[in-house]
Structure 1
Amino acid sequence: MSGTAASTAAEFEEAPARTFRFAILISAVRCTLTYVILPFVAPLVGLAAGVGPAVGIPIAVVALWANVASIRRHWHAGHRWRWPISLLNAGIIVLLVILLVLDVNQLL
């Protein structure tokens, strides 16, 4: 295999992994904000306690998009880990949808 073909194959394999890492990072940031920063730290520094849903909803939407993009990219690439990654992303999507519904209900 030539150097160019090897680097192209490596880049093709890396793109789904990069998308997956981004999706997990956004989901982790959302959970950290929702369950650590906003309930405990924000009131200590004088931020209103009710800002959680206003911050959580946009982050949840970005996290949902990122997880769907991760699934799509793994399947498009024919990645060997597409099934386990898709199941993990799907589980995160379910949790994010539940949290999104709870945040919307809190705002209403």
Structure 2
Amino acid sequence: MNQSNLCPRFEKAITILSQRWTGLIIYQLLSGPQRFRAIESSLPISGRVLSERLKDLEQHGIVKRDVYPETPVRIEYSLTEKGLALEPVLKKVEAWSQEWLDVEEPS
């Protein structure tokens, strides 16, 4: 089996961020805490996939889930300090995309 020449931490970071929808979910949460339905309605993603991604991000310490004991129960998702540290990275990707990528018109 071939060993990667990449830094293992860099490789792990890319593996986490390259999961489909993960970067967009993090980007969406940069604007502040949001409820599940708000995130779901802002992205073209199924509830099942969003739930899986949020659980993964929570396990990695990037997203936190806050449950408020109200009636009905309110659950909000927000970025942790670790998640907020991704803001400059995502903003640089956004700037790069604005300069270098064209959005293809749907056919």
Query: What TM-score, normalized by structure 1, do the two folds share?
Result: 0.32
Identify which of structures 1 and 2 has the higher relative contact order when contacts are C-alpha pairs closer than 8 Å and 6+ apart.
1
Q: Which has the higher strand share?
A: 2
Q: Which has the higher helix share?
A: 1
Structure of larger gyration radius: 1
Query: What TM-score, normalized by structure 2, do the two folds share?
Result: 0.32
